[in-house]
Amino acid sequence: MRSVLARGLGAGPGYRASHRRRRTATAQQGRLGRGITEYRLANGLQVLLFPDPSRPKVTVNLTVFVGSRHEGYGETGMAHLLEHMVFKGTPDHPDIPAAMKERGAQFNGSTTSDRTNYFETLSASDENLEFAIKLEADRMVNSPIKAEDLATEFLVVRN
């Protein structure tokens, strides 16, 4: 299994395309042991690469260090709600679950008190790895938050 773990917040308020070019121009690389290589991009994104040749799979796991403990008064459940919302699609990936299933992916998300996590495991190929990384980047930046989706998912999250 080849697995990539991307952690951090790549785009926040005021993020612009010009920042993307400048911030991701350099990366620091280091070895963490046990075959894990860490890359830290200038925008704060941390990527851990862990090759495992024993399995013909690739897993992309994105962890954002925001969870329920970051919610203010009256915001209970918002981190979990947002986790659900980014599965609703983007202009480039209008049906994320269908796109994942089309490639035979196992996928899900989870929210805890201190992080929100998204992952997909697919057959190992450069194309599937690129697909998964691009999909995660796309939905972290381009997921529209529509009122009708909020209403539906709010009921799911509350139950």
pLDDT tens digits, 44-95: 888 888 888 888 999 999 999 999 999 998 888 899 999 999 999 999 999 9
Cα–Cα nearest to 111, from 75, 158, 78: 78
Q: How far apart are CA 64 and CA 67, in angstroms?
A: 8
Task: Give me the catalytic one of 83, 120, 136, 153.
Answer: 83
| Terminal C-alpha separation, the chain | 35
Q: How far apart are CA 103 and CA 122, in angstroms?
A: 7
Q: Residue 83 catalytic?
A: yes
> What are the structure tokens assigned to 31, written together?
């070895």
Cα–Cα nearest to 67, from 108, 8, 115, 110: 115
Segment among 43-47, 62-66, 121-125, 131-135 with least mean pLDDT: 43-47
Segment among 9-13, 30-34, 145-149 with least mean pLDDT: 9-13
* 129 within 8 A of 96, measured Cβ to Cβ: no
Angle at 133 between CA 9 and CA 150, to 5 degrees: 60
Cα–Cα nearest to 59, from 106, 10, 97: 106
6, containing H or E segment? strand 2-7
Q: What is the largest CA-CA distance in the chain?
A: 47
Q: How far is CA 5 from CA 60, 88, 120, in A?
A: 6, 22, 11
pTM: 0.77
